[in-house]
Structure 1
């Protein structure tokens, strides 16, 4: 009898605990759904007095990125106090969009709340984390909305006829920082050199190659597409140019393929033929690659896209 009673009590406690967990889950779901519905209703009510598109539609058209537009939309809705005579919107990530976008947004909200004295301030931050890429052959980042420069430098790699070292190119900053606490030089080491253009279509032969590391603040993905100058639908083209790498003669070092900007520039005063790492245009063979549409006599293009 005692054993049966203990089992029964445990069963009762389990049912009670399960019931509480279920109630808690239902309550959390209800709260989340209520917030979502409130944001949706407020957003769709935010239409200028003279009619027109909703806030959500406006943000999508201005920012060209669905995820970022939704984040900013939610931030705006949560910042608005409908009872105030005037108010300020402090939007995290607003600093990543252009002043033109902010001006259009301000004018739109003035149309929704005429005479309310709305001001928009931008808290530092990003809307979706962003992605980084290197613009080879240029010392500045493209003039693309939401793209900022992290640093500029010089394209560097392994000397063209040396074995070993890294197989990728690096964008070495123009202002290196050394660890001054350790002044001992290692007995064995790897060497890295500057990179020169070889027989370029644009730019100057034997000049050294600059580079810029860029941050696309409102995008979440990037891709370098060889043999294309355009990007997929709804993607942003950061820049395009020519596919290049080290030559593939017997004494050469293997490297990665990089996309060198079509408007390539040179590092000032770097026209001497001292080699180091070198890059050449890439052509497709007709061995295992269909010709046409490929042409063995034409150099390959490339484009860098973000989304």
Structure 2
């Protein structure tokens, strides 16, 4: 059997043929025996494969074990405020418009309404009656006269006109969700928005005595009180809103004062 050996010497290849079965290694040489003669061929180190073509990609290795949990990262910056849901609605007594404040708009304007001061029944609260009433639901004849809502007037006001009807406006605040009326204050707490300030007013106490149980609610009427033009009621003025002072004794005086009209504020947040 003949074997052919290519030996690289530098960049030159030498071809050698031989026969025989003896092939051994002695350090960095190859011993070749042919016809009882042994030839030693020294193995020279060839060039490295840096200039060769890249080999094929190897097979994927095994999945490694799960690493340790990393450290907790720093707290990120606070994001922008989200949209505000909800909103509040309040009545501005003594004005036909709502305050010019961001987020506040008017739903409707009207006239203050309530129960006649000589009637024992009826509601004890005041209503802001719209200027354009609607009658859509069915009605019946012969069942009227049991209760009425009447228009109210100022009684000895500081700003408005005596015995003139009281305007009102219903206001919506879409960017805030809470509303607060504070009696005997002219400012709102910090972080709250002042909608308007004014005077505490209610039904004149003498009217309640006429029927024994006639009472009205306390309302915050705007400091710049307006009157509906041409609405003077000189005779029977139905019910009147008048200023309120502190009753000394059960309320400490000072700081309260029975000779000064109580202030109030409407605040939102």
Match of 1:175 among 122, 132, 136: 132
Matches of residues 201-220 of structure 1 in structure 2 within 5 Å?
Answer: 201-220=158-177
Q: Does 1:71 align with 2:32?
A: no
Deviation at 1:157, TM superposition (A): 0.5
With over 3 angstroms needed to count, the CA separation of the structure-2 counterparts of 1:136 and 1:218, relative to structure 1, is same
Match of 1:191 among 143, 148, 151: 148
Deviations 1:57-100 (A, max 9, x none): xxxxxxxxxxxxx214xxxxxxxxxxxxxxxxxxxxxxxxxxxx
Q: Does 1:288 align with 2:245?
A: no
Between the aligned partners of 1:134 and 1:188, the Cα distance in structure 2 is: 28
Larger Rg, first or second structure (1 or 2): 2
**Which stretch of the first structure deviates more once superposed, 279-288 or 177-186?**
177-186
Between the aligned partners of 1:131 and 1:286, the Cα distance in structure 2 is: 35
Between the aligned partners of 2:192 and 2:203, the Cα distance in structure 1 is: 29
Q: Does 1:264 align with 2:225?
A: yes
Between the aligned partners of 1:144 and 1:241, the Cα distance in structure 2 is: 17
Deviation at 1:272, TM superposition (A): 2.7
Aligned length: 191
Gaps of 5+ in 1: 1-36, 45-53, 57-69, 73-126
Residue of structure 1 in register with 2:266 after alignment? 304
Deviation at 1:188, TM superposition (A): 5.2
Deviations 1:260-303 (A, max 9, x none): 00011111210232401211100111121000000111110101
Residue of structure 2 in register with 1:12 after alignment? none
Deviation at 1:159, TM superposition (A): 1.0
Matches of residues 129-168 of structure 1 in structure 2 within 5 Å?
Answer: 129-168=86-125
SS of structure 2 residue aligned to 1:151: strand
Match of 2:210 among 251, 267, 273: 251
With over 3 angstroms needed to count, the CA separation of the structure-2 counterparts of 1:133 and 1:187, relative to structure 1, is closer
Between the aligned partners of 1:220 and 1:179, the Cα distance in structure 2 is: 32
Residue of structure 2 in register with 1:98 after alignment? none
Deviation at 1:189, TM superposition (A): 1.7
Q: As a proportion of its length, which structure holds more strand?
A: 2
Residue of structure 1 in register with 2:7 after alignment? none
Residue of structure 2 in register with 1:105 after alignment? none
Query: After TM superposition, what 4+ stretches of structure 1 lie above 2 angstroms from structure 2?
Result: 179-185
SS of structure 2 residue aligned to 1:251: helix
Q: As a proportion of its length, which structure holds more helix?
A: 1
Deviation at 1:161, TM superposition (A): 2.2
Aligned alpha-carbon RMSD (Å) = 1.9
Deviation at 1:136, TM superposition (A): 0.3
SS of structure 2 residue aligned to 1:195: strand
Between the aligned partners of 1:291 and 1:133, the Cα distance in structure 2 is: 31
Between the aligned partners of 2:144 and 2:268, the Cα distance in structure 1 is: 43
Structure with larger RCO (C-alpha < 8 A, sep 6+): 2
Q: Does 1:237 align with 2:248?
A: no
SS of structure 1 residue aligned to 2:82: helix
Deviation at 1:192, TM superposition (A): 1.2
